[in-house]
Chain A
Amino acid sequence: MANNRELLLECRGISLSLQGRLILDNVDLSVHRGEIVTLIGPNGAGKSTLVRVALGLMKANQGSVNLIAGTHIGYMPQRLTIDPVLPLTVQRFLTLARHYPKNKLIETLSETGAAHLLDSPMQTLSGGETQRVLLARAMIHNPDLLILDEPVQGVDVNGQEELYRLISNIRKRHHCGILMISHDLHMVMSATDQVLCLNRHVCCSGHPDSVRVDPNYVALFGRTPVLMPYSHHHDHSHDVHGDVVADKDKHKGCNHG
């Protein structure tokens, strides 16, 4: 899907230990424009750490992070809790780092489906609304590279589906690169170009179709239960109780690969 192979971010041989514990072991990662790269892996696999290294928030012990000059990053952190004692509306939240005219705010919020929240206090937002506002803040200065740390956290299954569709649309419309962490890979598969299965080192990587049958992936996540409540052409919700979908049906309706 990434026809234009303009490189945005490249990490090479990243190794990092914290308090004597090896967190990342010789990890390579690259993101191109127009491409969605998804990091998956069990808890404690180092997904967030890798993203923090890529963002420059942490320093690796070894390896290099190369953010191509002129690449603007939009970052959506994993969690946001704002103390109720701080009076802050969505509008104010979006302009914390920089001032933007109101029509720009509304335009961006509309794109993430949160325009009606402009004047709401941040503390009154639901989980899904908070994620949409965070996504809007990541997008507001037209980034070349969006880095999303578990963008659907705290969102119910229907909302997750919608958010992933939204992210996929953003990629199409803005032609930016997207690096995303997820632990529920089945949901994101159909929108992702490249999956990086991380468990301290890169277990396997590649197109979702090839990763899913990779022995290393199967060893980490097992074959079942494969939960597929989402693929591109569906316009209705699916059973969320973990019904197993037969292998051949898994990717019907996907338009990639």
Chain B
Amino acid sequence: MDDFLLRALFAGLGVALIAGPLGSFVVWRRMAYFGDTLAHAALLGVALGFLLEFSANLGVIIVCVALALILVALQQQRRLASDTLLGILSHTTLSLGLIAIASMETLRIDLMSYLFGDILTVTTIDLYWIWGCGAVALAVLITIWRPLLAITVHEELAQVEGVPVARTRLMLMLLMALVIAVAMKVVGILLITSLLIIPAATARTFARSPEQMAILAAMVGCIAVSSGLGASLKWDLPAGPAIVVSAAILFFVSHLWWNRRAKATGAV
């Protein structure tokens, strides 16, 4: 196998391993749109990285974290519904990112590769980023797992029981920012949330507990990455979209199977 393929595979697997468990929370807490908003802001981070001449990854992390903090602050005001706020920020930051990149005349970057991912050009340094950030994110997620689950089920009940609600929620936001930043290389900013949501939604059909769902989601993500890359190689498809379509196929097959079984056993 060629080196670039191996690097692509490891990059995809690294992202899938953290996107599954984190994506489970995105699904449970209905944060899909939040993820999209962070992802759209990532382009601004890329521009910032180039402008200030440091790594694009770092730029993306900075912008995503800043946006997450702004969102937390704005949501506490409760004057506008969350999805309205997200809609405003999402498209504003995406447009700002596009303008920033277009206005940097000296910069020749392939916009498509940021929008839809460029997993086949992953470098060894990218791999360090992905696995380093992924490992940190996974460790943090495991640490805050119990309080996070408690506030997901009932925030006030958890607060009365002594769970540090604000801190836990903030940690989740920061984790999302981190994971989105490193996942960008694999599927691009327009497709990132699919890696969070589709494996988790697929895993739901088989899971009996939250932990099972998280682990299964990571596995489904790995299968989607491997088969998507395979398909991309065999039929010369764009890799990022191929991975997303593989995940979607797994999702539909699992739900068909689930419906059949439900009918067979008479359960709903």
Q: What residues make up the interface of A, taking CB atoms closer than 8 Å to B?
A: 52, 55-57, 73, 75, 77, 80, 82-83, 85-89, 92-93, 96-98, 137
Contacts and interface: CB of A to CB of B under 8 A. Distances in A.
Contacts, number: 59
The 8 closest A-B pairs by CB, nearest first: A97-B161, A75-B160, A96-B150, A86-B28, A87-B207, A97-B150, A77-B157, A55-B160
Contacts of B152: 86
Given A55-B156, A86-B153, A87-B212, 15 more contacts: A56-B159, A56-B160, A80-B157, A83-B28, A83-B30, A86-B28, A87-B204, A88-B209, A89-B208, A96-B153, A96-B158, A97-B150, A97-B161, A97-B163, A98-B161
Interface residues of B, number: 26
Q: Interface centre among B153, B158, B208, by most A CB within 10 Å?
A: B153
A82 B159 contact: no
Contact of A86 (B159, B160, B210): B210
A87 B149 contact: no
Nearest to B150: A96
What is the predominant secondary structure among interface residues of chain B facing chain A? helix
Given A82-B153, A83-B28, A57 B159 contact: yes
Contacts of A89: 208-209
A137 B158 CA distance: 11
18 contacts: A55-B156, A56-B159, A75-B156, A77-B154, A77-B156, A83-B30, A85-B201, A86-B153, A86-B210, A87-B209, A88-B209, A89-B208, A92-B209, A96-B150, A97-B146, A97-B150, A97-B158, A97-B163
A85 B214 CA distance: 12
Contact of B162 (A82, A92, A97, A137): A97
Contacts of B207: 87
Nearest to B163: A97
Interface in B118-165: 146-147, 149-150, 152-154, 156-163
B192 interface: no
B2 to A, nearest CB: 39
B161 A87 contact: no
A93 B146 CA distance: 11
A181 B222 CA distance: 50
A170 B27 CA distance: 38
B210 A88 contact: yes
A87 B212 CA distance: 9
A98 B146 CA distance: 8
Contacts of B163: 97
Given A97-B158, A97-B162, A85 B150 contact: no
B206 to A, nearest CB: 9
A8 to B, nearest CB: 15
Given A83-B28, A85-B27, A57 B204 contact: no
B204 A88 contact: no
Contacts of A77: 154, 156-157
Q: Interface centre among B154, B201, B207, B208, by most A CB within 10 Å?
A: B154
Contacts of B150: 96-97
Contacts of B147: 97
Contacts of B28: 83, 85-86
A82 B30 CA distance: 12
B213 interface: yes
Interface in B173-218: 201, 204, 207-210, 212-213
A83 B213 CA distance: 14
